[in-house]
């Protein structure tokens, strides 16, 4: 069974994508340069909005492939679920290279952080009119 969740977010002029341990998308409209892990704003979903089947697989510790796409530029990384993930935050989704768990965390032990994302993609995301697609699927 392949579970796919598709989330959309938008670019912002302050997207830096320089954080060494996380990747974040947020429902927030505004972004300061302090949010250097954020790659998308005005997200269509936060952790609490994810489909239930996906939440179950995340809590079962499944391995996932996350595809990022904007302006025909694509990148991807892998991450893992964990039974301790609450998936309850109503504003943000955070992918972590570490195994740190909080209500904002969706996947841990990810293979990339925001600084490792394709730089052409992060450059495109500095345009507020750029739509980012985040596709989360079980890596089978």
Q: Where exactly are the structural domains of the chain?
A: 4-138
Give SS3 for 101: coil
| Residue 90: Cβ within 10 Å count | 11
Q: Are strands 105-107 and 92-96 parallel, antiparallel or unpaired?
A: parallel
pLDDT tens-place string over residues 6-34: 999 999 999 999 999 999 999 999 999 99
pLDDT confidence of residue 2: 77
Extract the runs of DSSP E, i.e. beta strands, from 97-140.
105-107, 131-138
pLDDT confidence of residue 3: 76
pLDDT tens-place string over residues 30-60: 999 999 999 999 999 999 999 999 999 999 9
Q: Cβ neighbours of residue 114 under 8 Å, at least 6 residues apart?
A: 17, 18, 19, 22, 23, 24, 36, 37, 38, 39, 122
The fold of 4-138 is: Jelly Rolls (2.60.120)
- For the whole model, what pTM was predicted? 0.96
């Amino acid at each position: 069974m392949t579970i796919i969740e598709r989330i959309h977010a938008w670019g912002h002029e302050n997207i830096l994508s320089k954080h060494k341990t996380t990747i974040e998308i947020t429902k927030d409209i505004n972004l300061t340069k302090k949010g250097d892990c954020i790659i998308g704003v005005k997200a269509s979903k936060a952790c609490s909005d994810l489909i239930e089947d996906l939440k179950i697989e995340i809590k079962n510790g499944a391995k996932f492939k996350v595809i990022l796409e904007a302006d025909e530029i694509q990148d991807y990384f892998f991450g893992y679920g964990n039974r301790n993930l609450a998936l309850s935050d109503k504003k943000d989704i955070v992918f972590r290279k570490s195994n740190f768990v909080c209500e904002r965390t969706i996947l841990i032990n990810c293979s990339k952080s925001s600084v490792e994302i394709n730089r052409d993609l992060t450059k495109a995301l500095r345009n507020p009119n750029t739509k980012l697609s985040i596709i989360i699927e079980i890596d089978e």
